[in-house]
Amino acid sequence: MRGPHNIIRLIRTGATLERTGAMNVVLDAFEAPRAIRILAHALGKPFQWLGYKGDPAMPPATRALTALGPAYIKFGQVLSTRPDVVGVELADQLRVLQDKLPPFPRDQAMKEVAKELGRPVDEMFEEFSEPIAAASIAQVHKAKLAGTGEAVAVKVLRPGIERAFRKDVDAFYFAARIIELFAPGARRLRPMEVITHFDGVVRGELDLRLESSAASEYAANTKDDKGFWLPPVIWSLCARRVMTLSWADGIALGDNAALDAADHDRSDLAERVLRMFLLHALRDGFFHADMHQGNLKVAANGDIIAYDFGIMGHIDEYTRRVYAEILFGFIRRDYKRVAEVHFEAGYVPANQDVDEFARALRAVGEPIFGMDASHISMGRLLNYLFEVTERFGMETRTELILLQRTMVVVEGVARSLNPHINIWQVARPVVEDYIKGSIGPRAMVRDLGKTALVLARFGPRLPVLVENALIAQTRSEEPAHPRSGAAFLPALIGAAAGAGAVLLLNALI
């Protein structure tokens, strides 16, 4: 992120944004201050001839990012999960970015496979097809295992993609630093945080062993879920740049004509895909965060098949309970309880008025519940909820933003299968079951049991914790009373209570 080459890359980026008409779209979405607008146009307008033309049939932002190449496409996809940063409208546009890039040659892919797995390709596979799908980071080939003839899908990273991404990410960091230096008012947009988040996502996707691990964990969590199936990972044929899964035959979930021709019940599929997402998010805290039609198939027996595990969501147990209570409160139209949950979780600052917040939530929920069932949208409610909580100073939580974004995508998939689906009716039993198991009396007993185990395990450390707390307390006292006996007893009690509280909090959360 340091070097003159980044300036050249930013000029080319600005020129492409200007040429495609995307510059003002992006600046408006980020609510960029005047100084940044001037700087951006100064980098773009004089050099428009250097910019890529892109596909005029695409919206300006997606046209520009697609023209700029893989790193920019991936950056757009990541930003589509952050409506808190780019706004809902641009996030919706970026969500339709297609990873339909020119594939690299089959021979080159085979060389990469042989190099990564340490054996000639013909020893591992008796057939190895031309690319059947090409994305920004990798492409997929259909192959057959040598000896058994089992059909598999082989995912291979693009040659040199790590270096190409590193250069572009360095330019992104450089741009973020310029924004922070020249426009301090833009720091509220958290440019460095956004780029760091993107960098972390890309680093994970550039190591296919991590995707293989995510697929394996997801499969273990969902192995008993009726009507849902994941192709198994073939670990012996996986490496950092290669991932091999069993082949999954099926009809694309977005092909309604083919689903009807195969006599699949689209209403049942719509309900099942929604229930599965909620079940995985609430029960497991680990969910597929890219559940669009392109990553879902329907097997001949009606099972929903999921694949492409590059983007997975994770939420801890405490956050799951909060999310479930919020959803359940909306289902029951108990807006006061929804407001209280936000305050209890610390999502909304304590200096805000809980009753006023509850009234704002009612203004969000009631119009939606007054709609016809076919128009009730959980995605719309979550978007409105985001707007309200932002007004009340709610701090951004990335895991909830990803959960919200995935909920909107899954709802879109469900409605494409059955436009008349009642989202809340389908969601209610899943949320109620989770509430009963995680917030009722049995859950309280279970939490107390966990607390006792933690106290038993860390009990020997309590004297050290108390001693450290006393030392800290003594150092913070006035110099005139370093050994005050009156202060010692409260400090001891406070230290012990604090240590116990920390252990209890850890256990409960």
Helix then strand count (H, E) for the chain reads 23, 10
Q: Which DSSP state fits 69?
A: -
Q: What is the largest CA-CA distance in the chain?
A: 87
Q: Which two tokens stand for residue 163?
A: 């270096």
**Catalytic one among 290, 303, 316, 353?**
290
Residue 243 and residue 210: Cα distance in Å, rounded? 10
3-state secondary structure 277-307: HHHHHHHHCEEECCCCHHHEEECCCCCEEEC
Q: How many CA atoms lie within 13 A of 274 on its CB side?
A: 29
Q: What letter represents residue 42's amino acid?
A: A
Angle (CA) 38 396 21, round 5°: 30
Cα–Cα distance list, 284 to 43, 59, 303, 407 (Å): 47, 37, 20, 16
Residue 393 and residue 347: Cα distance in Å, rounded? 8
Q: Give SS3 for 195.
A: helix
Residue 466 and residue 472: Cα distance in Å, rounded? 10
Residue 139 and residue 142: Cα distance in Å, rounded? 10
Angle (CA) 298 300 303, round 5°: 45
Residue with tokens 């510059």: 23
Residues 6+ apart with CB under 8 A from 267: 417, 418, 421
Residue 352 and residue 357: Cα distance in Å, rounded? 8
Q: Which residues of 230-265 are buried (b: 16+ CB within 10 A; e: fewer)?
A: bbebbeebbbebbbbbeebebbebeebeebeeeebe
Q: What letter represents residue 285's amino acid?
A: G
Angle (CA) 234 273 94, round 5°: 85
What is the number of residues in the chain?
A: 509
Residue 130 and residue 127: Cα distance in Å, rounded? 10
Query: Does the annotation mark 290 as catalytic?
Result: yes
What sign for the dihedral angle of Cα 238, 241, 243, 249?
Answer: negative
Residue with tokens 């009753």: 355
Q: What is the side-by-side strand order in the sheet with 242-246?
A: 125-134, 138-145, 151-157, 242-246
Helix ranges (DSSP H) in 45-87: 60-68, 70-79, 83-86
Provide the annotated active-site residues. Answer: 290
